C-alpha cells in the first residue's frame, strides 16, 4: 500500500500508530507517534486508520447541509504538509559510501531486481546544498528532464520509470551548483556526462547493497566530494567569473563473483561441492542440489569471462559423474572455451580445467 504525507496509520501487528510525516522511499515512511517522536517504519507494517476516513465522510455530510461540524472544529488546527519526494539519506544506520553526489536506480522489487518499476534517485551525500539540472539524450536530441534542489545529506526521487524506459536514461548530462550559507571554501559548478550501457540494467550483479538506500541499487558516482575543484580566489578568477568543472559519471560496480575464487592472475578455483555453496542442505532434494551446483557453475564462468580470466578450475568431485556430465553439456554453449582434466596431483580425478580464449 502506498501512503502519503498526512495519512493516519496504525501498526499492522501491534497497538499504536501515528501520522505519516515523510515518505522516505517506496518502502519506508516516517511517522509521528502520539508522544511526538518521529520514527521510520516499513510501509508493509502499516494500515490506514479508517476512523479518520470516516470522520472525513462525516465532514463532507455536514458541509453539504451547511451544519457546523464538531469534528472539523476539533481538528482544524491540524494542517497537512505538502507531500515531498525529498528525504534524509539514511535515517536507520551509518553511511559507508564516499562523500559525493550519486545517481541511483533502485528497483521496487528487491527480491527480483530485474523486474518491475525503478525509482531514479539523486543522492546528495555532502554537507552542501545542491542545485541540479538533468538532461537526457532522447531520440538523438537533448531533453531537460528535471531540475531542483536537494538539501545536505538528502535524496530526491526524480522519476519512477518502467523497464521499457531504461534506454532513455543511459546518456545525458547533469549540472550541479554547490551552496553553503557560511562556506569555508567555494566549489566550481559541476558538469558531468552520463554514459551507461543499457545491458547493465539487466544484470543482477549491477544492483548492489549499499548504505545510502534501504534496498539494492545500481549506483552511479556523479562526483566524489574529494574531486570537486575549489575556487582559488585569484584576482583574475574574481574578475572574469568561475569556470566549470567537467567530469564523467562512473557506475559503481559490485565486486565480480569470480574474484571470490581467484587463485592467481587470471585464474580461479571453484569448489562445486554442495557443502561449499549452501550452509544447510536440510530439505534439499538431489535435484535441488544439482540445480544449485549448475547455477553456480554458470554464474562463475560468466563472471570469469566478463572479467577476462583465462582459466577456471572446477572441483566437481568423483561421485557418479552426474555433475561432471552436466558441466560438459553446459560448456557446449560456450564457443570460446576448451576443457581438460585438471592436475591429478593437485586435485585428484574430480576436477576440470576450463580454459577461456578471447578473440583479438
- Please provide the CATH number assigned to the domain covering 257-356: 3.30.1370.110
Question: What CATH number does domain 8-75 carry, 1.10.760, 3.30.2010, 2.30.30, 1.10.150?
Answer: 2.30.30
Nearest to 293 by CA among 312, 315, 310: 315
CA distances from 6 to 150, 156, 180, 251, 321 (A): 22, 19, 31, 37, 63
DSSP-derived secondary structure for 106-165: EES-SSSTTSS-EEEEEEEESSSEEEEEEEEEETTEEEEEEEEEE-TTEEEEEEEE-GGG
Question: What CATH number does domain 86-252 carry, 4.10.520.10, 2.60.40.1600, 1.25.40.10, 3.30.1220.10?
Answer: 2.60.40.1600
State percent of the chain over pLDDT 70: 84
Nearest to 85 by CA among 138, 45, 29: 29
pTM of the model: 0.50
Give tens-digit pLDDT for 9-40: 888 778 888 888 888 877 788 888 877 788 88
**C-alpha to C-alpha distance for 186 and 67, rounded to whole angstroms:** 59
Domains in the chain: boundaries: 8-75, 86-252, 257-356
Edge-to-edge strands of the sheet including 351-356?
A: 262-264, 267-271, 311-315, 351-356, 337-341
**Do 192 and 223 form a contact (C-beta atoms < 8 A)?**
yes
* Cell triple for 334: 560456450
**C-alpha to C-alpha distance for 287 and 237, rounded to whole angstroms:** 70
Residue 241 has a pLDDT of 46
5's CB contacts (< 8 A; 6+ apart) are 20, 21, 22, 23, 80, 81, 82, 83, 84
Across 36-40, 325-329, 330-334, 335-339, least confident range: 36-40
**Pick the residue with more confidence: 282 or 107?**
107
Residue 265: strand, helix, or coil:
coil
Amino acid at each position: 500500500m502506498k501512503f502519503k504525507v498526512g495519512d493516519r496509520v496504525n501498526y499492522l501487528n501491534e497497538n499504536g500508530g501515528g501520522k505519516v510525516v515523510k515518505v522516505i522511499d517506496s518502502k519506508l515512511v516516517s511517522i509521528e507517534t502520539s508522544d511526538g517522536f518521529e520514527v521510520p517504519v516499513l510501509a508493509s507494517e502499516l494500515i490506514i486508520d479508517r476512523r479518520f476516513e470516516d470522520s472525513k465522510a462525516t465532514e463532507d455530510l455536514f458541509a453539504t447541509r451547511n451544519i457546523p461540524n464538531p469534528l472539523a472544529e476539533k481538528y482544524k488546527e491540524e494542517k497537512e504538509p505538502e507531500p515531498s519526494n525529498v528525504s534524509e539519506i539514511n535515517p536507520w544506520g551509518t553511511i559507508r559510501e564516499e562523500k559525493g553526489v550519486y545517481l541511483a536506480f533502485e528497483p521496487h522489487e528487491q527480491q527480483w531486481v530485474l523486474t518491475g518499476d525503478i525509482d531514479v534517485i539523486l543522492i546528495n551525500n555532502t554537507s552542501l546544498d545542491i542545485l541540479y539540472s538533468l538532461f537526457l539524450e532522447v531520440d538523438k536530441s537533448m531533453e531537460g528532464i528535471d531540475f531542483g534542489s536537494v538539501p545536505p545529506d538528502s535524496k530526491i526521487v526524480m522519476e519512477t520509470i518502467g523497464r521499457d524506459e531504461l534506454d532513455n536514461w543511459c546518456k545525458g548530462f547533469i549540472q550541479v551548483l554547490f551552496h553553503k550559507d557560511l562556506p569555508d571554501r567555494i566549489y566550481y559548478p559541476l558538469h558531468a556526462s552520463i554514459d551507461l550501457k543499457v545491458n547493465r540494467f539487466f544484470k543482477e550483479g549491477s544492483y548492489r547493497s549499499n548504505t545510502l538506500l534501504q534496498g539494492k541499487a545500481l549506483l552511479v558516482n556523479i562526483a566524489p566530494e574529494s574531486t570537486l575543484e575549489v575556487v582559488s580566489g585569484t584576482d583574475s578568477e574574481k574578475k572574469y567569473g568561475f569556470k566549470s568543472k567537467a567530469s564523467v559519471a562512473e557506475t559503481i560496480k559490485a565486486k565480480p563473483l569470480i574474484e571470490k575464487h581467484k587463485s592467481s592472475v587470471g585464474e580461479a578455483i571453484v569448489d562445486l561441492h554442495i557443502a561449499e555453496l549452501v550452509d544447510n542442505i536440510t530439505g534439499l532434494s538431489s535435484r535441488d542440489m544439482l540445480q544449485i551446483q549448475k547455477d553456480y557453475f554458470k554464474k562463475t564462468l560468466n563472471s570469469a569471462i566478463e572479467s577476462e580470466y583465462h582459466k577456471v578450475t572446477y572441483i566437481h568431485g568423483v561421485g557418479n559423474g552426474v555433475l561432471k556430465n552436466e558441466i560438459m553439456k553446459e560448456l557446449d554453449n560456450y564457443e570460446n572455451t576448451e576443457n581438460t582434466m585438471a592436475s591429478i596431483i593437485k586435485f585428484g580425478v574430480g576436477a576440470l580445467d576450463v580454459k577461456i580464449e578471447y578473440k583479438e
